[in-house]
Structure 1
Amino acid sequence: MLVHPKIDPVALQLGPIAVHWYGLTYLVAFGLFMLLAHLRLKHEPFRSIQGPGAWTRKDIEDMLFLGVLGTVIGGRLGYCLFYKPDFYLANPLQIFFVWQGGMSFHGGLLGVIASQVWFARSRHKPFWQVMDFAAPCVPLGLGMGRIGNFINGELWGRAADPELPWAMVFPQSGTAIPRHPSQLYEFLLEGIVLFLVLWLYGRKERKQAQVAAVFLVGYGAARFTAEYFREPDNFLGLLALHMSMGQWLCIPMILGGVLLWVWAETRVVPAQGPAAQRR
């Protein structure tokens, strides 16, 4: 049985300025997105697009900037609406107290979608082409966020068999119960595995929206599975059918991804490159 090492969340202290490990994981996530996005330019159909619709470094930078805004705004509003609506309705100014924590991935996803609608329209690019471009570049960044959660000793797992070799006590939980290190499970499932699936699937030209659809299904399935090992929020507990809020939010995500893939498979769109077939 292991014990969480209680890593100091502050990586570097420069006088009154504290640089936190969690913030550094976000910087790494942004750097990984930029790196992977530039590699993504070599995949079809993006490398074959010429003229005004061609993808550039400036496109990637603007996409990332808008995506970060969408993540922060959507993630905060999603947490307030999905997890504590009564509290924030009674204390609306608390919505702006982001330093107190409280972000929702599913809310962040909605914020990112909204930001990329703006990006696609401003650059006169097909929206689903934009989402297909971005989807494989995202999972490793999500995985870095889970590493940040582990460093902070937050979002720990449910009770585990003490005989489990990697069962871990999280003193931050206020108990000595051995638990699943669910942050690391999510790092592997939502980060590494999902990245490999999307990168391999997305490196070949697919019908528009299908790579984005695989992201929705893949993340939803990975998160739904990991939630069985993650301790539910103490102010919510388990909801109907003994499922957590995270699992309930993943269900429409998975169903939406399946329907999106089927829709993309059956619709007719113009060819986008020499390797594309008319659909």
Structure 2
Amino acid sequence: MSAMHSILLQFGSFPPLRTYGLCMALGFLLGWLAAVRLCKRTGQNADALSSLLTWLMLAAVVGARAAYVLEHWSAEFARQPFSVLRVDQGGLMFYGGLIAAALVLVVYTRVYRQHLFQVTDLVLAVVPLGHALGRIGCFMHGCCYGKITSSWIGVCFPRESPAWWEQVSAVPPLLERAALKSLPVIPTQLIEAAANALLFALLATLYPARHYARGFITGCYLIGYALLRFAIEYLRGDPRMAVGPFSISQTISIGLLGLGLFCLAYAKRRQSAPSP
């Protein structure tokens, strides 16, 4: 199967509409709408939520881009530093965005005197929906691809795609420069998109139940995504920075797994505590 359609529409000399940018925008929009819907279903203030989501989206984009640039500076940005601003062309690291958004959340809850888990439970219930759309954008752009495979699930990316360049540039080369497409690779983007969609369905179902203590949804998300991402990293074929035997994303996943377990323990303790 052939993949990658990075440019969706092109009108003359106008800048093209890139599929990656469109998927990212749709992910934010659908996540926003889902959060507002959950907010209204549980009787919370949707207007205050909209203001928070605006700041979270900005922080997520800046943090995700900054993390990607730091990891790929010498290879992609040292000679063309202004390309850092071309977010629509891909190049976001999810964990960078998650950490930046978390910092904004901490500041927000302190300023407005809200319980941190009350806010994170709602926000993290819808994050997987936006993330699923973002991974579809990755697939259409050709980034975040998997390892070479002979399986029927393998997809081929076209000439000059990231996967094609990686295979042509390997030592020794895995592919001839005359090749019109890459060798088949695991579609890790679509696998992660599907897993995120399932995680969203689970959390969006659990959240309105309201019989879970604060922190439960947060813990479920952190544990679920940490396990998912840790496993997916073993299937990735694009260049990855490592910390010992693990990639950076796997190292962060281990930390988030521990944080998620803490959140569940906190929620269980709150739920079992006697009412005053």
TM-score range, shorter chain: 0.7 to 0.9
Partner residue, 2:141: 152
Of 114, 133, 138, which aligns to 1:125? 114
Mapped pair 1:196 → 2:201? yes
**Amino acid in the other structure paired with 1:31:** L
Give the TM-score taking structure 1 as reference length: 0.79
Q: CA deviation at 1:80?
A: 4.4
Of 245, 249, 269, which aligns to 1:246? 249
Partner residue, 1:23: 21
Alpha-carbon distance in structure 2 between the residues aligned to 1:95 and 1:17 = 17
Equivalent residues of 2:7, 2:16 under 8 A apart: no
Pick closer, same or farther for the CA change 1:180–1:57 going to 2, 3 Å.
same
Q: CA deviation at 1:95?
A: 8.8
Alpha-carbon distance in structure 1 between the residues aligned to 2:184 and 2:271 = 53
How many positions carry a matched residue from both structures?
253
Q: CA deviation at 1:19?
A: 2.0
Mapped pair 1:97 → 2:84? yes
The percentage of aligned residue pairs carrying the same residue is 25
Alpha-carbon distance in structure 2 between the residues aligned to 1:56 and 1:42 = 7
Give the TM-score taking structure 2 as reference length: 0.80
Equivalent residues of 1:156, 1:170 under 8 A apart: no
CA distances 1:219-239 after superposition (whole Å, capped 9, x unpaired): 1111112222211416x3x65
Partner residue, 1:220: 226
Partner-residue secondary structure (3-state), 1:111? helix
Q: Structure 2 unaligned runs (5+)?
A: 165-174, 176-181
Q: Structure 1 unaligned runs (5+)?
A: 48-54, 271-276
The within-5 A match list for 1:29-108 is 29-43=27-41, 46-47=42-43, 55-81=44-70, 83-84=71-72, 87=74, 94=81, 97-99=84-86, 102-108=91-97
Partner-residue secondary structure (3-state), 1:13? coil
Partner-residue secondary structure (3-state), 1:97? helix
Structure 1 segments, 4+ long, off by >6 Å, are none
Q: CA deviation at 1:152?
A: 0.9
Pick closer, same or farther for the CA change 1:95–1:73 going to 2, 3 Å.
farther
Partner residue, 2:131: 142
Partner-residue secondary structure (3-state), 1:41? helix
Pick closer, same or farther for the CA change 1:33–1:128 going to 2, 3 Å.
same
**Amino acid in the other structure paired with 2:9:** A
Q: CA deviation at 1:18?
A: 2.5
Partner residue, 2:171: none
**Amino acid in the other structure paired with 1:221:** L
CA distances 1:44-95 after superposition (whole Å, capped 9, x unpaired): xx42xxxxxxx323222212211112102221333345x358x59x96x949
Partner residue, 2:275: 278
